[in-house]
Amino acid sequence: MSRSDLPSRRGVLRGTLATGAVIAAQGLAQGPAHAASGPRAYRNPLVEQRADPHIHRHTDGHYYFTATAPEYDRIVLRRSRTLRGLTQADESVIWRRHTSGDMAAHIWAPELHRVDGAWYVYFAAAPADDVWKIRIWVLENTNADPFKGSWTEKGQIATAWDTFSLDATTFTHRGGRYLAWAQHEPGQDSNTGVFLSRMANPWTLTGSQIRLTTPEYDWECVGFKVNEGPYVIQRNGRVFLTYSASATDFNYCVGLLTADDTSDLMDPASWSKSPTPVFTRNDTTGQYGPGHNCFTVAEDGRTDVLVYHARQYKEIEGDPLNDPNRHTRIQQLGWKADGTPDFGVPVPDAR
């Protein structure tokens, strides 16, 4: 089966969110306060040929980095006390794909999270005999150091439907833990929407699963009708959830959902959706297809940092998923006077 025959993937708020209800997980990113005034310069790309990046700043003072390797066959991990240090940090392979059966193909979008005293990696994978039957899987390591100990396969996260699903992220809000993810909804003509659910434990969903967003605007439906890659940052009395939309070529971009911090996140009506993308390609800076972002905080503990991937060129031969040059980039995340995030434009490369 070709990729175009399958439910594809990709995501601030309006009425259609309340339709359909069912799955969805949590995006993460809690942390200190807001960006300091004035832009902070970073040297990009931060890490070459690493897509769907995730950076976790841990209480041990280190940044932990993981991302999709272009071979789609392993999960890698780097560590550094500085963001810039991740560029040259040694990279370890903490898990490899199976050679047969489940988790043998399309190892995508790993995220590393520390939950209840253990490390967890959420990632997407498919079986060897059906490489587009992509689902969400979880690894656990109870060692304090994720480079040590052993990684146990906790299994597949069971969602309401057994359909194409990926890009899981987890976060906490008012004492509860959530999972947000992308999935194909049966009966919908879109490839993927973004869903949310509470969690009973780091590998099990509980209660209802709701749809947060489905592709509806033109900018979400270029190439494929996709909302995917959710991630959460909580600031200024609101919960902001970013997601990526459209095909993974130069049309890839970032959308935004917003909910009040005091609202019930499991009520679709709590969320509003931006009718326009908040982060897109820029010909002037030479950055194309920015997306699949996360957030971290700078070494000062206050400045918010946007993490994402993008390419340095617009035209791609063949399937964009076979092009390895989605590079990890970072830049300061600004904040507008009304308390909403200011993404700006993807900054140019600096060497």
Residue 338: CB atoms within 10 Å: 7
317 is catalytic: no
d(CA 152, CA 229): 24
List 111, 220, 228, 323, catalytic entry: 228
Which member of 52, 249, 304, 323 is catalytic? 52
Which contiguous run of DSSP H or E holds residue 152?
strand 152-156
Chain centroid to Cα 282, Å, comes to 21
Integer Cα distance of 192 and 343 in angstroms: 24
Residue among 261, 303, 341, 316 at smallest CA distance from 42? 303
Q: What are phi and psi of 85, to 5 degrees?
A: -65, -15
**CA–CA distance, 253 with 272 (Å, rounded to integer):** 18
In angstroms, what CA-CA distances link 234 with 74, 244, 267?
31, 18, 17
Half-sphere exposure of 310 (CA within 13 A, CB side): 33
What does the alpha-carbon distance between residue 238 and residue 168 come to, in Å, rounded to a whole number? 21
Contacts of 180 (CB under 8 A, 6+ apart): 24, 25, 26, 27, 168, 169, 170, 171, 194, 195, 196, 212, 230, 231, 232, 241
Catalytic site includes residue 90: no
CA-based diameter of the chain, in Å? 53
Residues serving a catalytic function are: 52, 228
